[in-house]
Structure 1
Amino acid sequence: MSSRKFLWDVSRKFFTVGLIGLTVSDRYVSIFPVRGASMSPTLNPGTSSHDDHVLVEKFCLQKYNFKRGDVVVFCSPTNHKEKHIKRITGLAGEWFAPTYLYDAVRIPEGHCWVEGENLANSTDSRSFGPIPLGLIQGRATHVIWPPQRVGKINRRVPEGSRLPSF
């Protein structure tokens, strides 16, 4: 009888811890593995043999509180199973002039423009246009793995194609 009670207690504790972990991961903070070199040198620089893992905070989703230069994780607008991590380079209402177009693009309300830092190796808004803010799953704030790269991800406003608003 006591082994049965022990198994029940252990199962109940694991279930409780799992439920709390799932809630925290869904609502507040999660860990995201960064694959590829599209955000190099900020993430996955060529000198590292391990993929970076970043801490993604989700408090910014309550009021869609994003700023130019934030690094965000979002679902791909073309394939909901894919997740990307890119830097916000333009916000709703701004005019943007991508280098490959001869015309400026106005970013619609409820959208933002995202680009990777390694433009030669990045699938971003240059490929699929402005992304809806509803696809963003959180803001990357810190690199937490590998240990030699642990640190804060700085908000860096990229130079480039943004035009003044009219």
Structure 2
Amino acid sequence: MAFMKNAWVEWIKAFLIAAILAVLVRVVLFAPVVVEGPSMLPTLEDNDHLIVSKINYTIGEPERFDIIVFHATERRDYIKRVIGVPGDHVAVENDELYINGERVEEPYLEERKQDMPDSHILTQDFTLEQVTEEGYETVPEGHVFVLGDNRNNSTDSRMFGVVPMDQIVGEAVLTYWPLERIRIVLE
């Protein structure tokens, strides 16, 4: 009888430890996120399920071209690509990205550009000054400038300005559903 009681106590302890670890992993380290909408096509598709690392930006800062999840409103999170980090001047001219006056390749857009008719462009011309209400010349400290990969169908920094880093949930690291789209997202 004492053996059965000890076995139950050990099972309860093991279950409690597992539950606490699961909560810690979910709250502190990783979060599941579901992509809603076409703004990150073709990189991410509507209804892709992602694992987002919350720890990456606790120990570091977002880097250019990271795919991040951030709080866009109290009730809604967005998934976008970091294009500008603090100190960067961002502009697009003739469908080409310029960071600090230098042309920057965007290989993740090639598939999308190839699917478009020759007369269409993916990204309308803009400068950081034109799209930020404050007229920033460079991305301010503590903020990032984000764009969706589906540039002609994305609500992003061109509409709502720079994103405060304290609104960033984390970095997308892995798609796990649907099964045929399982892959590492990190660029």
Global fold match (TM > 0.5): yes
Residue in structure 1 matched with residue 80 of structure 2 by the alignment: 86
Higher helix proportion (structure 1 or 2) = 2
What amino acid does structure 1 have at the position aligned with 2:68? V
What amino acid does structure 1 have at the position aligned with 2:74? H
Secondary structure of 2:24's match?
A: helix
For residues 1-166 of structure 1, the aligned pairs below 5 Å read 16-44=17-45, 51-76=47-72, 79-97=73-91, 99-101=125-127, 103=130, 105=136, 106-155=138-187
Q: Runs in 1 of length 4+ with deviation above 2 angstroms?
A: 7-20, 97-105
Q: TM-score, normalised by structure 1?
A: 0.75
Secondary structure of 1:56's match?
A: strand
TM-aligned CA deviation for residue 16 of structure 1: 4.9
Asked whether the equivalents of residues 172 and 186 of structure 2 are also in contact (C-alpha less than 8 Å), the reply is no
What amino acid does structure 1 have at the position aligned with 2:76? E
Cα distance in 1, alignment partners of residues 18 and 38 from structure 2: 35
Runs of 5+ consecutive residues of structure 1 not aligned to the other structure: 46-50, 156-166
Cα distance in 1, alignment partners of residues 68 and 141 from structure 2: 18
Cα distance in 2, alignment partners of residues 116 and 8 from structure 1: 51
Question: Cα deviation per residue 1:82-133 (whole Å; 9 max; x = unaligned)?
Answer: 1011000000011122524575741100000011011222111111101111
Runs of 5+ consecutive residues of structure 2 not aligned to the other structure: 93-124
RMSD value, Cα: 2.6
Secondary structure of 1:144's match?
A: strand
Secondary structure of 2:59's match?
A: coil
Q: Which has the larger radius of gyration?
A: 2
What amino acid does structure 2 have at the position aligned with 1:93? G
TM-aligned CA deviation for residue 20 of structure 1: 2.5
Q: 1:65 to 1:17 in 2, by over 3 A?
A: same
Task: Give % identity.
Answer: 32
Cα distance in 1, alignment partners of residues 65 and 167 from structure 2: 17
Residue in structure 2 matched with residue 161 of structure 1 by the alignment: none
TM-aligned CA deviation for residue 66 of structure 1: 1.5
TM-aligned CA deviation for residue 14 of structure 1: 5.9
Asked whether the equivalents of residues 64 and 133 of structure 1 are also in contact (C-alpha less than 8 Å), the reply is no
Provide the aligned length of Structure 1 versus Structure 2. 146
